[in-house]
Structure 1
């Protein structure tokens, strides 16, 4: 594999790892290359990100690597947070919300098992919009957070209780359940535009 392609993959892995970040050891395992090669590629990426025309950088904290924004652009990020966001939610957020609505209380790991992908960002989006909230801790190893829908969820979708959610089809196929729930939430999403 070429150096440029390896750097592109590392960049993608850094982005995909989100807030959790990724370690050099994890990069080694995923790419099947030596620690020295990973270190060299990371140094090249860091050097490229130092240019003025780049808006991101690689940060290392406790041996975990994160892709992050440059502090010198912080005024613009603050302005972004002040600008009202559109009321439309991403497909990932809608899927996650449907899973939580029908399976609550549920942990992030259980959501990810159903969706088949990491769900940190959709969960954060839903928490930020106050559509879901922490409703407790599961009595298992690590006591993971349990999520459930909030009162704002009911208001947002014009429901008086969770009993008004459309019934799920009688099937054991998670894909069918997710599709049915997605259709329900997409209908409301479209109406809010």
Structure 2
């Protein structure tokens, strides 16, 4: 495998790992390269981001690497979040919200294991709408972020506590999300019929 391709794969892994990030050992194992090579390429990527007019940067926290936006652009991101939403949430976002509501606290990786697909955009949408929030970090490799529903979630759906969520059947399979999603949509689906026809994740 050429070094350029390895570099591109590592950049993709940094993006795909989202808020949880990724460490050198994980990169080395996934791509099957030496850890020293992974470190060298990470340093090259950091240099590329720091010395080019790009909106992203690589941040290191202990042994975990994250691909994140530059802090000097934060005002623009705040403006983006302040733009009124004229769309309704996608099926992916609704499914993710149902999983979080019933399985919290839960990491993004655990959501993806249940859904079988990447949940980055869905989680970002729910965070932007203040329906979920970070609850801390799980005591596991990489210290992944734990997510749960917010007070705004309860207010939005007219709930006083999570105990008022529709009860799951006794036969609910903990490895599947279809039952909680169906129950959630049946009870609250109309709440998401916001103005506009376009769906967003």
Higher-Rg member (1/2)? 1
- Residues 1-193 of structure 1 aligned to structure 2 (within 5 Å): 1-49=1-49, 50-52=51-53, 54-86=54-86, 88-101=88-101, 103=102, 106-109=104-107, 112=111, 113-116=113-116, 122=122, 125-126=125-126, 129-132=129-132, 147=148, 150=151, 152-153=152-153, 156-157=156-157, 174=176, 176-177=178-179, 180-181=182-183, 184=186, 188-189=191-192, 191-193=193-195
Deviation at 1:76, TM superposition (A): 2.5
- Consecutive unaligned residues of structure 2, counting only runs of 5 or more, are 196-201
2: CA distance, partners of 1:149 / 1:77: 21
2: CA distance, partners of 1:146 / 1:73: 25
**What's the TM-score once normalised by structure 1's chain length?**
0.66
CA displacement, residues 62-119 of structure 1 (integer Å, 9 cap, x when unaligned): 2321112234434423432443344533444311222244x36x32059525334676
Question: Does the aligned pair in 2 maintain the 1:127–1:133 contact within 8 Å?
Answer: yes
Question: Does the aligned pair in 2 maintain the 1:100–1:111 contact within 8 Å?
Answer: no
SS in 1 for 2:68: strand
**What's the TM-score once normalised by structure 2's chain length?**
0.63
Greater relative contact order structure (CA < 8 Å, 6+ sep): 2
- Consecutive unaligned residues of structure 1, counting only runs of 5 or more, are none
Q: How big is the alpha-carbon RMSD for the aligned residues of Structure 1 and Structure 2?
A: 4.2
Number of equivalent positions: 183
Question: Does the aligned pair in 2 maintain the 1:22–1:66 contact within 8 Å?
Answer: yes
Deviation at 1:192, TM superposition (A): 1.2
